Amino acid sequence: MEIKKVTRISIFIDYDNFSISYSKINNIKEKDITIWDKLNGLFLSYYKNKFINNEFEAMEHTGTFLCVGISDFLVFEQEKLNKKHFQALDRKLGFIIRYGNRAPSKKDKKGIFQLGKEKGVDAEIICQMLMGAFLDHYDACILMSDDGDYIPAIRRVQEYFGKKVIQAGFHDSKLRNQAFGHIPLEKMSADFHELEEVSENKLYG
């Protein structure tokens, strides 16, 4: 079958939103998450199976923007380990790391390390989404977040630029209801095998 149309897809992931929800649902620690290596293929495969209903359309992955918060001053050893973890993700095929800020980390009264809350990550993702839509870098995007702060951005990307936004998240939300479609991660097993992984070199035909 001759390919007559290529749909360009970008992926935007709010790191904390994903890792906290995934860890809680699967009862594991953030550092033990191993799904990163195949996450792109899983999301793209799901899009192909659910939103492309023909044989003449192929997909092109235009990049995955993984946005994380990191402190300006790394005081605790755990923070330094987190930075190394993010740097490792940046080297994975298809991932582009973008940094927001993070409030200072601290130890609670029991001496347990508490990572500071991220700041500016949603703003960074919104900027990347809007800029990509304006510059026509993608035809559709997958947004991994349950945060309602993205609703205005989704509306503008879809209504003004004519792009499709697929929301991936772990629970029903107002954000999910605003998107063109959604990926219900709360219904998936730990390895997301229900998304039917397809290697990226097969997405073009």
For 128, residues 6+ apart whose C-beta sits below 8 A from its C-beta are 12, 65, 67, 98
pLDDT of residue 205: 40
CA distance 50 to 55: 13
154: nearest Cα among 180, 134, 132? 180
For helices 151-159 and 121-134, angle between their N-to-C axes, nearest 10 degrees = 0
Which pLDDT tens digit goes with each residue over 117-170? 666 688 889 999 999 999 999 999 999 999 999 999 999 999 999 999 999 999
**DSSP line for 78-145:** HHHHHHHHHHHHHTSTTEEEEEEEEPPPEE-TT--EEPPPEESHHHHHHHHHHHHHHTT--SEEEEE-
Q: Using an 8 Å Cβ cutoff, are 196 and 49 in contact?
A: yes
Residues of the chain scoring pLDDT < 50: 74-77, 79, 198-205
- Residue 192: the pLDDT is 80
The full set of domains in the chain, from first to last, is 5-202 (3.40.50.1010)
pLDDT of residue 123: 85
3-state DSSP call for residue 197? coil
Looking at residue 103, its pLDDT comes to 58
CA distance 154 to 178: 7
Q: What is the DSSP letter of 204?
A: T
Q: What is the pLDDT of residue 93?
A: 66
